[in-house]
Chain A
Amino acid sequence: MFYREAGDFSKTYREDSQTFPIRFDRYRYYAVLLIAFAIIPFFLNDYWVNAIFLPFLIYSIAAIGLNILTGYCGQVSLGTGGFMAVGAYATYKLMTSFPEVSMVVHILLAGGITAFVGVLFGLPSLRIKGFYLAVATLAAQFFLVWLFNRVPWFYNNSASGQINSPERTLLGVPITGANTEPWAVYLFCLVFVALSAVIARNLTRGAMGRKWMAIRDMDIAAEIIGVNPLTAKLSAFAISSFFVGVSGALFFSVYLGAVEVGEVFGINKSFLVLFMIIIGGLGSIFGSFAGAAFLVLLPVLLKNVLVTGLGWPTDIAAHLEFMIVGGLIIVFLIMEPHGIAQLWRIAKEKLRLWPFPH
């Protein structure tokens, strides 16, 4: 009825190969952008930004990054928390060393540094694969967290061992530090998210994404048809780590403001992001958003319903959250290995024919 491609003709190759070839999809995409950029900022307050929007946006970038590596290239990584920590500490060092340089540059540079570290820890992927690799990436997780905990240079010898983000402005508006406005930090993160999504989507649609998927589906066969596993795997590690690093940088500088590495970027963070892409959908950019939204909203919802609504103790709500998340992972792996993104695809197929199914 309202979701169909009838009468939607592409007259040029360009039109045919655009990201959203169906007109309805395209308009919906513009509408989402319009709402996100022009309407939501007017209705924000501190609670909404800090409890929902900022974590959602920042985790989306991390999930997109991990999805490139795991969902598209098939290399499972449990080191996401460690790589986010690299992004965070790189921004911190850059912010304190070069206070006059713009935050945008710092965050992009932090992403670049993380990409370099990611390639370094991605090197073993050329020899080992599957869960051997997954376990090997744990080495990155533990080593990096230890490094940032123990080497005082990384936290500028501060007595508490924490890093705190100093106040920085962009175009005269404070975006880090204590005096930020909700709409400013929201828009700042949103720009990064939108750009990440566009870049990731186009990378995965192009030659590079196809190489990654060939490696994922069968690496030996991919090698035989001419995909170079060295460049394909390492580029996946580099680009994935870049996004993860950017998200870590935003997580520290804009969202939290103060970070103790073992608590914030521990192994649970790695699992959280992995769960996001499993529930959202492996190998789907939309799935990264859906998974991030789901796992950010779930604890907020449980807290509001159980603790505020029914008056349960918080520890029971926390235990229940563990059970629900764990149970959902299993349910999704059994029933729908492609996650929420696949449910969405099925719904679209149904909508195309609705209400006349024949």
Chain B
Amino acid sequence: MPDQLVYAMEVFLNGLMAGVLYALVALGFVLIYKASGIFNYAQGVMALFAAMTLVGVMEGQVPFSHLINALLGTKVHHFGWHLPAFIGIVSTVIVMVLLAWLVQRIIFKHLVGQEPIILFMATIGLAYFMEGFGDMMWGSEIKKLDVGLPQGINLWIDETTYNIFDYGFFIDNLDIFATIIAAILVGGLVIFSQYTKEGRAMRAVADDHQAALSVGVSLNFIWIMVWSVAGFVALVAGIMWGTKSGVQFSLSLIALKALPVLMLGGFTSIPGAIVGGLIIGVGEKLFEFTVGPLIGGATENWFAYVLALLVLVFRPQGLFGEKIIERV
């Protein structure tokens, strides 16, 4: 087999893994969008915030220590404990639920019935606020996140592929793990939305707010629930990306990666988010591999957007989205 083809296969597999991570972030968007019509730009910052909180709790950082030190002239930094990952994750989930409640209560309760674009701009404001708030609370330095996930090259794949192609593929254990987690998460979400009472109520709200309200579904509860679930998805995404490349500001930019995924797959479709993520993950890696060297490299920043733009021109609702019908 020619070398180039083998390399391309490795790139393809890595793209598939990256695509799963994109899909994971995109899922959070789809959930909130389906249930409340809010396109949540802050999803990426939520992932960053969740990861920061997780690190902060596990390392025993004092929240707002920078601010306290500046105001009172003290020198507090750490409580001096190290908690196991499980307790950290549980308390972070609690924080995310609390955040969901606050966001619903303070912001989106007052914006019910506004145009989608206004809601979108409100979430941009929320993203800015949380970016500052997260940094204020936990400090803006790069943190290391380690919850005990396997990392490094997968030797089995390396050896097997070496025996077949004379060239070992480099696949990170973490990526494989992330794929499994994402699959479980998607399965769980599908079961949740199809077979539980709350899930059914969520789909009812997504279909028609007023009709759902008239049969006794509490909109408020559903929205808080959806934001909490999105917060949980953000936490999972935050753990994966945080373990991979450290908890830092750039983590919040994964939202920008997830946007074209959504445009491609359609805003309203969970399978769309997955397939879109995979297409973009594979597409951008292969594009960078084949065309990138010819035109200066680093094409990953825009390839996804241009691809999504081209698809949108021909299919405005995305690949899997519901057809947009407008009435005057």
Which residues of A are at the interface with B, using a C-beta cutoff of 8 A? Answer: 76, 123-124, 127-128, 130-132, 134-136, 138-139, 142-143, 145-146, 149-151, 218, 220-221, 224, 267, 271, 274-275, 278, 312-313, 315-316, 318-330, 333-334, 337
Contacts and interface: CB of A to CB of B under 8 A. Distances in A.
Given A145-B301, A329-B122, A337-B118, 8 more contacts: A124-B312, A124-B313, A130-B116, A135-B260, A136-B305, A139-B306, A313-B70, A334-B107
B299 interface: yes
B230 to A, nearest CB: 17
Contact of A142 (B70, B124, B302, B326): B302
B136 interface: yes
A352 to B, nearest CB: 30
B133 interface: yes
Contact of B125 (A145, A329, A337): A329
Per DSSP, chain B at the interface is: helix
Contact of A224 (B118, B299, B316, B328): B328
A60 B274 CA distance: 42
Interface of B: 39, 66-67, 70, 107, 110-111, 114, 116-118, 120-122, 124-133, 135-136, 140, 256, 259-260, 262-263, 295-299, 301-302, 305-306, 308-309, 312-313, 316, 326, 328
B117 A131 contact: yes
B121 A150 contact: no
26 contacts: A76-B117, A76-B120, A128-B313, A130-B117, A138-B256, A139-B306, A143-B305, A146-B302, A150-B296, A220-B326, A220-B328, A224-B328, A271-B128, A278-B121, A315-B135, A322-B133, A323-B129, A324-B132, A326-B128, A326-B132, A327-B125, A329-B128, A330-B122, A330-B125, A333-B121, A333-B122
Contacts of A128: 312-313, 316
Contacts of B128: 271, 322-323, 325-326, 329
A143 B125 contact: no
A135 B298 CA distance: 20
B129 to A, nearest CB: 3
A274 B127 CA distance: 14
B208 to A, nearest CB: 19
A325 B107 CA distance: 15
A85 to B, nearest CB: 13
Contact of A322 (B124, B131, B295): B131
Contacts of B328: 218, 220-221, 224
A144 to B, nearest CB: 9
A143 B306 contact: yes
Contacts of A130: 116-117
Contacts of A327: 125, 129
B30 to A, nearest CB: 14
Residue of B125, B130, B131, B301 most packed against chain A (CB within 10 A): B125
A330 B107 contact: yes
A267 B256 contact: yes
Given A139-B309, A329-B121, A330-B125, A321 B297 contact: no
Contacts of A324: 132
B297 to A, nearest CB: 7
A142 B257 CA distance: 11
A313 B316 contact: no
Contact of B136 (A149, A320, A330): A320
Nearest to A322: B132
Contacts of B130: 326
Given A316-B66, A319-B135, A334-B110, A151 B129 contact: no
Contacts of A76: 117, 120-121
Contact of B298 (A132, A150, A319, A333): A150
Contacts of B262: 135
Contact of A150 (B124, B295, B305): B295
A321 B132 contact: yes
Nearest to B123: A330
Contacts of B129: 322-323, 325-327, 330
Contacts of B297: 150
Contact of B132 (A142, A320, A333): A320
Nearest to B39: A131
B136 A326 contact: no
